[in-house]
C-alpha cells in the first residue's frame, strides 16, 4: 500500500492555512488543499504496515482508536498515491456517507492510530480524504443512488444531523420512502448550527442535500417533532421511525448569580452566529453579540474552541477559556501508549488565533466559576473563579476536581458561554415517544442495537450513545439504517 519507501522519502506536509490576521476578518474556511501531485506524495507515505490500526474503529481504554466507519484507509491512500482518484472515491464511498464533512471537522482518529505515527508524523489521511471527495465533486462523480425499485415502506427520520442524514441516505438507496424532519429552519442539525462556518462551510451541506433530494429524500424543516408533530401522528403514517435528535440538553453551571444577563449556552451562541450569517449571505457579522466584551468560555473541547474563534471574529475585547482538568502533557505518557487516542495538549485554530491576538494561550486549567457577579441592572460584569485540585473519592475511587480555598480571584466578564458538554436527549421528545432511557438519558437499546423499547422506534447518533464525534454519528446512522431495513424487509443488503 502506498510507496514502499514513501514514509522514508517524504516528510509530512499539510495543506496551506490562511494566516490569523487574514482569516479572523471573515467566517470563511481557511484550510486549503495541496496541489494534487503534492497530495499524492503524502499518500505515498502510507506504509505496508500489515495491521492497519487506522481503520480498526475499536474501543481501547474507553477511547475510540481508528476510524469508526472502518474506511479502507490504506487502499484509498494507495489509489491516491497512484493518481487513480475516481477509484479512490469509489473505494471511500463503500464505507463513508459524507467525506466532505469529516475531512473538515473530524479529529482524525485514523491518524492517531497510524502505524507511521508511532515513530514519525502520521500519514495525512484526513487531507487525502478531502482531496478525494473534492476531486469527485469537481469531476461530477458524486451522485446519490436513485433506487430502481421502491419497497413501498415509509420511514421517518427525526433530526437532520450527521446520524440522521446517514440513515436517510442508506434507507433511500434501499428503496424506502424517507422523510427527514428538522426542527430548525435549515437542514443539517449539528453540522449546520453547532459547527462554525469557517470550520465547515454550510454550502457543502446544501450541496449534499440537493443530491439527496434529487434522489427522493424528503426534508421537512421547521417541524419540531414532539411539539408541533406528535409521535402518534408519525407512528400512524410511517412503518419505522429513527430518532436522531442528538444529545442537545446542555450541562449547566450552578453558581450564585447564574440568572445574570449575559450568560449563554455555547451551542445557542454558535447557532445564533451561524443563523445570522446565513440570513445575510455571510455579509453582515453579528458583532453585537461579542464586540468589545470580556468573554469567559467555560469548558474546553471542540465547542469551547469554536467559541474562542467566533468571539475573536466578532471583536471581543478579551477571551478566556476555563478548563476544569489539568493541562495535558505535550507528549504521550507511558500510561497512554499508541494506538490509544493521544491525551496530549492540542492547540486548535481558536487557541492559535487567541495567541496571535493576545500573545498568550486563552486557557486557564484546573479552574472553574464560583460566582457570577451582576451590576445593578442585572447584567453580568464579573466572574469569581477558583482553582481546582484533584482529590480521590475514598468510596468510589474516582478522582474529582475540588475547589482550593483561598484561590479565588475576579475576572471581568460581560459574556459567559457555557461549553460544559451535554447531559443527553431532550425530555419532550423521549416522553412523547415513550421510549425507555438509560442512566444518561439516552434512548435505551440492547448493546450494539438501535431498536428502542417501543415498536417501530429506532435511534442513532448522540441520542443513542451520548455526545460524541461527527464520524461516530455517521457510523451509527448507517448501522441503524441496516437494522431498520432488516426489520422491514426480512433481509438487508446495506
Tens of pLDDT, residue by residue over 59-81, are: 999 999 999 999 999 999 999 99
- Give the per-residue pLDDT at 1: 65
Q: Same domain, yes or no, for 91 and 34?
A: yes
pTM score, whole prediction: 0.96
Q: In this structure, are 333 and 401 located in the same domain?
A: yes
183, HSE (Cβ side, Cα atoms, 13 Å): 18
Distance CA 431, CA 157 (A): 17
Asked if 166 and 132 sit in the same domain, the reply is no
Total domains in the chain come to 3
| Dist. CA 188–CA 143, nearest whole Å | 19
In a domain, 147, yes or no: no
Grid cell for residue 468: 460524541
What residue ranges of the chain have pLDDT lower than 50? none
Residues 6 or more apart whose Cβ sits within 8 Å of residue 266: 250, 297, 299, 303, 304, 306, 307, 417, 418, 419
pLDDT at 3: 84
Q: Is residue 257 part of a domain?
A: no
Residues 414 and 268 both lie in one domain: yes
Q: Do 410 and 450 share a structural domain?
A: no
pLDDT in tens, 292-326: 999 999 998 899 999 999 999 999 999 999 999 99
Domain end, chosen from 418, 442, 460, is at: 418
CATH code (residue 477): 3.50.50.60
- Which CATH number covers residue 20? 1.10.1060.10
Residues 224 and 324 grouped into a single domain? no
44 inside domain: yes
Residue 242 shares a structural domain with residue 274: no
* Predicted local confidence at residue 33, as pLDDT: 97
Q: Look at residue 256 and tell me if it is in a domain.
A: no
Angle, to 10 degrees, between the axis of helix 301-313 and the axis of helix 349-358?
Answer: 40
Distance, in Å, from the CA atom of 117 to the CA atom of 443, rounded to the nearest integer, reads 37
Whether residue 272 is contained in a domain is answered as yes
Q: Tell me: do 269 and 406 sit in the same domain.
A: yes
Domain boundary among 106, 138, 170: 138
Q: Please check whether residue 334 lies inside any domain of the structure.
A: yes
In a domain, 255, yes or no: no
Phi (first) and psi of residue 370, to 5 degrees = -100, -30
How many beta carbons lie within 10 A of that of residue 149, not counting itself? 7
Question: If you count them, how many residues does the chain have?
Answer: 494
Angle of helix 36-44 relative to helix 73-81, nearest 10 degrees, comes to: 130
Of 88, 114, 138, the residue at which a domain comes to its end is 138
- List helix spans (H) across 82-217: 85-93, 99-105, 109-112, 125-138, 162-174, 190-193, 202-214
The answer as to whether 146 is a domain residue is: no
**Cβ-based burial of 357 (10 A; exposed 0-12, middle 13-18, buried ≥19):** middle
pLDDT digit string (tens) for 352-374?
Answer: 999 999 999 999 999 999 999 99
Range of the domain at 470: 154-248+423-489
Same domain, 431 and 455: yes
Same domain, 202 and 328: no
Residues facing residue 297 across a β-bridge? 321, 417
Q: Say whether both 22 and 75 belong to one domain.
A: yes
Q: Residue 393: how many CB atoms within 10 A of its CB?
A: 10
Looking at the fold, whether 35 and 72 belong to one and the same domain comes out as yes
Amino acid at each position: 500500500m502506498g510507496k514502499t519507501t514513501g514514509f522514508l522519502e517524504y516528510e509530512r506536509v499539510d495543506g496551506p492555512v490562511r494566516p490569523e490576521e487574514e482569516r479572523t476578518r471573515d467566517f470563511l474556511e481557511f484550510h486549503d488543499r495541496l496541489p494534487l501531485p503534492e497530495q499524492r506524495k503524502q499518500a505515498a507515505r502510507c506504509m505496508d504496515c500489515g495491521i492497519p490500526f487506522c481503520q480498526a474503529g475499536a474501543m481501547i481504554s474507553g477511547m475510540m482508536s481508528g476510524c469508526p466507519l472502518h474506511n479502507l484507509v490504506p487502499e484509498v491512500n494507495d489509489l491516491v498515491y497512484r493518481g487513480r482518484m475516481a477509484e479512490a472515491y469509489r473505494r471511500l464511498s463503500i464505507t463513508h456517507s459524507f467525506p466532505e464533512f469529516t475531512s473538515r471537522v473530524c479529529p482524525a482518529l485514523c491518524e492517531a492510530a497510524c502505524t507511521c505515527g508511532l515513530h514519525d508524523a502520521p500519514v495525512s489521511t484526513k487531507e487525502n480524504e478531502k482531496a478525494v471527495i473534492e476531486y469527485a465533486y469537481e469531476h461530477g462523480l458524486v451522485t446519490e443512488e436513485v433506487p430502481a425499485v421502491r419497497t413501498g415502506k415509509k420511514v421517518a427520520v427525526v433530526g437532520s444531523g450527521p446520524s440522521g442524514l446517514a440513515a436517510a441516505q442508506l434507507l433511500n438507496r434501499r428503496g424506502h420512502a424517507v422523510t427527514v424532519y428538522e426542527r430548525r429552519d435549515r437542514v443539517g442539525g449539528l453540522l449546520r448550527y453547532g459547527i462554525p462556518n469557517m470550520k465547515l462551510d454550510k454550502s457543502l451541506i446544501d450541496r449534499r442535500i440537493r443530491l439527496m433530494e434529487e434522489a427522493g429524500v424528503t426534508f421537512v424543516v421547521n417541524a419540531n417533532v414532539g411539539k408541533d408533530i406528535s409521535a402518534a401522528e408519525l407512528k400512524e403514517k410511517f412503518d419505522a421511525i429513527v430518532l436522531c435528535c442528538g444529545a442537545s440538553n446542555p450541562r449547566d453551571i450552578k453558581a450564585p448569580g447564574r440568572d445574570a444577563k449575559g450568560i449563554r449556552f455555547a451551542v445557542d451562541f454558535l447557532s445564533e452566529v451561524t443563523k445570522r450569517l446565513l440570513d445575510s449571505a455571510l455579509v453582515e457579522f453579528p458583532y453585537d453579540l461579542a464586540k468589545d466584551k470580556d468573554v469567559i468560555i467555560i469548558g474546553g473541547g471542540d465547542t469551547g474552541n469554536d467559541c474562542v474563534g467566533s468571539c475573536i471574529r466578532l471583536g471581543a475585547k478579551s477571551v478566556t477559556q476555563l478548563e476544569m482538568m489539568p493541562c495535558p502533557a505535550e507528549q504521550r505518557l507511558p500510561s497512554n501508549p499508541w494506538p490509544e487516542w493521544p491525551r496530549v495538549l492540542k492547540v486548535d485554530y481558536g487557541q492559535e488565533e487567541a495567541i496571535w491576538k493576545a500573545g498568550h494561550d486563552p486557557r486557564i486549567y484546573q479552574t472553574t466559576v464560583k460566582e457570577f457577579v451582576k451590576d445593578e441592572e442585572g447584567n453580568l460584569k464579573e466572574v469569581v473563579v477558583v482553582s481546582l485540585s484533584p482529590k480521590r473519592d475514598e468510596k468510589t475511587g474516582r478522582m474529582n476536581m475540588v475547589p482550593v480555598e483561598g484561590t479565588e480571584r475576579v475576572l471581568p466578564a460581560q459574556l459567559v458561554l457555557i461549553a460544559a458538554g451535554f447531559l443527553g436527549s431532550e425530555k419532550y421528545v423521549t416522553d412523547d415517544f415513550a421510549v425507555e432511557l438509560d442512566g444518561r438519558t439516552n434512548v435505551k437499546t440492547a448493546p450494539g442495537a438501535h431498536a428502542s423499547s417501543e415498536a417501530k422506534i429506532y435511534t442513532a447518533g448522540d441520542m443513542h450513545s451520548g455526545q460524541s464525534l461527527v464520524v461516530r454519528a455517521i457510523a451509527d446512522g448507517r448501522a441503524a439504517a441496516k437494522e431498520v431495513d432488516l426489520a422491514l424487509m426480512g433481509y438487508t443488503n446495506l
